[in-house]
Amino acid sequence: MSTFAVPGAELEAEFSDEGGHPVVQLHGLTSSRYRDRVLDLDLGRGLSGTRLLRYDARGHGHSSGGTRPEEYAWPNLADDLLRLLDHWFPGEQVHGVGPSMGCGTLLHAAVRDPDRFSGFTLLLPPTAWETRIPKAEEYRRSAAFVEAHGLEAFIDATRGGARPPATVGTPETRPEVAERTLPALFRGAALSDLPAPDRLSRIDVPVTVLAWVDDPSHPVSTAEALAALLPRAALSVAGTPAEVSAWPAVLRDDVAGRGEARA
């Protein structure tokens, strides 16, 4: 483990160096490296022959963060990501993988510095554009609820809701976020959206988009829109845990393909 300083935060990262192609793995909102592993969203598990960088985003897991919503907006998280890549993989093209907020962070980094990436494996694209408007209001309500009632009351209020069928069998988990920063994280998410479609259409690298059904926070409609916008994208939609369990193999194939392309 190591820490890396960015403006306003210290990010905890882990680096597995087995040679080969560089890969960076991100996580989702209120999650962490550890929590994504519990939720079977750690696609880098068992990934061999690569240089794999995982890290907790600011305010998540073991990384520190402040209490201003702007710190957690996706363009600022993309700044953090690009600083990490400059440190660990200077001058190299990197394969990016991550769900939800991590997907949004990667895409904002890509439109800012498209030559930085060799390809992407994007999991569970979040609400975007039209569907982002009601989701942003939900995040603002959640922030106000945590401020008024506390983290434990928020966990109790949200426990036991309907879950996507592809997540059956995974345990219920707690947010990997401190109570004092959680409202700012929610408001930062409310400030965020995917890049504009015309900017996404210029990301000319291989992309695999992985989605699952019946998840209003990660609608298949966003995944389909991304697959249509990105010039070299393929889409796969899971409906069962068994299909999700195949996603690490998808990442292995994606990274192997990127490495062969550069050989």
Count of residues making up the chain? 263
pLDDT in tens, 165-194: 999 888 888 999 999 999 999 999 999 999
Which pLDDT score, from 0 to 100, does residue 261 have?
Answer: 43
The first and second tokens of residue 36, run together, are 């994504």
CATH of residue 62's domain is: 3.40.50.1820
Which pLDDT score, from 0 to 100, does residue 258 have?
Answer: 61
pTM of this prediction? 0.96
Which pLDDT score, from 0 to 100, does residue 260 have?
Answer: 47
pLDDT in tens, 5-54: 999 999 999 999 999 999 999 999 999 999 999 888 999 987 999 999 99
Which pLDDT score, from 0 to 100, does residue 161 have?
Answer: 76
Q: Coil, strand or helix: which one is 261?
A: helix
C-alpha span between 215 and 168 (Å, rounded): 13
Centre a 10 Å sphere on the Cβ of residue 74 and count the other Cβ atoms it contains: 25
pLDDT in tens, 152-166: 999 999 987 788 999
Alpha-carbon dihedral 171, 177, 178, 182, rounded to 10 degrees: -110
Q: Coil, strand or helix: which one is 235?
A: strand
Cα 50 from chain centroid (whole Å):
20
pLDDT confidence bin for 129, thresholds 50/70/90 = very high
Which pLDDT score, from 0 to 100, does residue 262 have?
Answer: 38
Mean per-residue pLDDT, 83-103: 98
pLDDT confidence bin for 110, thresholds 50/70/90 = very high
pLDDT in tens, 216-262: 999 999 999 999 999 999 999 999 999 999 999 999 999 998 644 43
The first and second tokens of residue 203, run together, are 């990301």
Q: Which residue has the tokens 């603002």?
A: 140
Decide if 138 contacts 213 (C-beta within 8 A). Answer: no
Q: Coil, strand or helix: which one is 189?
A: helix
Which pLDDT score, from 0 to 100, does residue 251 have?
Answer: 97
- The domain of 141 spans 2-262
What's the domain count of the chain?
A: 1
Q: Percent of the chain at pLDDT above 70? A: 98
